[in-house]
Amino acid sequence: MTTLTAKPTPSRALRIARSRPMLLLGLLAGAGLLALAMMSSIAFGAADIDAPTVWQALVAFNPESTQHLIIRTLRVPRAAVAVLVGAALGVSGALMQGLTRNPLGDTGILGINTGAALGVVTAVFFLNISSLSLYALFAFAGAALTAAAVYGLGSLGRGGPTPLKLTIAGAALTALLSSFTTGILILNQRTLEEVRFWLAGSVAGRDLNLLLQAAPYLLIGLVLALALGRQITTITLGDDVARGLGQRTGWVKGLSALAVVLLAGGAVAVAGPIGFIGLVIPHVVRFLVGVDYRWILPYSALLGAIFLVISDVAARLVLRPTELPVGVMTALIGGPFFVYLVRWRVKR
């Protein structure tokens, strides 16, 4: 496991780039980029709709117009879902990397995706559910229970929840729950048919009602995470140092884990398991802003949202008019980029 620490002597240009005014400016620029990405998400899709009609649909909605309906009932909710889910995944990934001091850390370590998948698959198998809002309920329950179990197991013994114990507990439970999920899917054709789209991760077909159900969890998780920025930065220096600086590490870790569950659990409940954002985005952000989690977390939210919105647009356009699940697209974009990033860091 590698401890994430700053380079001892950053160059002058880097120091300027990471100065407070520049970082604030960067956040503003990111917000602008996000707005552009959202506009492209609303403007482009399987159906050809010209720009004036898109604008009319936003400012002078006509419920009789099919094109306006497409914009308002499909594309706007989809863009909003992508923003919130992307932000949640980015922040939860950053929190996990900080919490476990593991550069490969993401919410998968707490078994969030696996628990959510088992929750949905079990509910489809035993209860025959098929609506996305019920999927969300069971996904969140599965994610929360699994995360609690991993955290509980990882906290046993002396020293409380150490990165190593959390990682081992997460890997063990993930393997166990994955085998349950696979078993049900193999034995049950109907369940496989019903959840295979959900398992790929997608923001398509999610309406505002679904988003509103999950929004409180996501927003509370975001606020909690952003409030913990300073404490997470200290924890990345090591538990002993953090305790030496007077930090109550148990509380910080517990609250961070709670934020991760709210964020990643809410995200997976709405959109299914979407990979790579929680892994890649914090690395990009750390390259841009350094090791201070007071900046890493908001930047991760912003870049996570931008990345997911752009990936979703690409998923709609790359095989147009067929749409790919956005989870496939994030892996297609994120995988090679991550390899590049690793090679670049090794070279440096």
- Which of 321, 336 has the CB closer to another protein? 321
- Which of 165, 206 has the CB closer to another protein? 206
Token pair in block for residue 78: 């989809």
Binding letters toward another protein, positions 169-208, x by CB under 8 A: ------------------xxxxx-xx--xx---x-xxx--
- Which of 210, 279 has the CB closer to another protein? 210
d(CA 118, CA 297): 29
Whether the CA torsion 39, 278, 103, 179 is positive or negative: it is negative
- Which of 78, 165 has the CB closer to another protein? 78
Q: Does residue 309 bind another protein (CB under 8 A)?
A: no
Token pair in block for residue 33: 């980029």
Number of helical (H) and strand (E) elements in the chain, helices listed first: 16, 0
Q: Does residue 43 bind another protein (CB under 8 A)?
A: no
Q: Yes or no: say if 151 and 170 are a contact pair by the CB < 8 Å rule.
A: no
- Which of 53, 247 has the CB closer to another protein? 53
Candidates 172, 213, 215, 323: give the one binding another protein (CB under 8 A): 323
Q: How far is the CB of 278 from another protein (least distance, A)?
A: 22
- Which of 78, 286 has the CB closer to another protein? 78
d(CA 176, CA 323): 32
Q: What radius of gyration do the chain's Cα atoms show?
A: 20
Q: Does residue 46 bind another protein (CB under 8 A)?
A: yes
d(CA 39, CA 168): 42
Q: Does residue 246 bind another protein (CB under 8 A)?
A: no
**What is the three-class DSSP state of 61?**
coil
- Which of 125, 151 has the CB closer to another protein? 125
d(CA 118, CA 112): 10
Q: Does residue 58 bind another protein (CB under 8 A)?
A: no
Q: How far is the CB of 123 from another protein (least distance, A)?
A: 12
DSSP annotation of 205: T
Q: Yes or no: say if 201 and 82 are a contact pair by the CB < 8 Å rule.
A: no
Number of residues that bind another protein (CB under 8 A): 34
Q: Yes or no: say if 120 and 201 are a contact pair by the CB < 8 Å rule.
A: no
Closest CA to 87 of 217, 230, 235, 209: 217
**What is the three-class DSSP state of 4?**
coil
- Which of 125, 295 has the CB closer to another protein? 125
Q: Does residue 130 bind another protein (CB under 8 A)?
A: yes
Q: How far is the CB of 320 from another protein (least distance, A)?
A: 9
Q: How far is the CB of 48 from another protein (least distance, A)?
A: 10
Task: Please list, in sequence order, all residues whose beta carbon lies within 8 angstroms of the beta carbon of residue 7, skipping any fewer than 6 positions away.
Answer: none
Q: Does residue 11 bind another protein (CB under 8 A)?
A: no
Q: Does residue 125 bind another protein (CB under 8 A)?
A: yes
Q: How far is the CB of 90 from another protein (least distance, A)?
A: 23
What are the residues binding another protein (CB under 8 A)? 45-47, 63, 66, 69-70, 73-75, 125-126, 128, 130-132, 135, 187-191, 193-194, 197-198, 202, 204-206, 316, 321-323
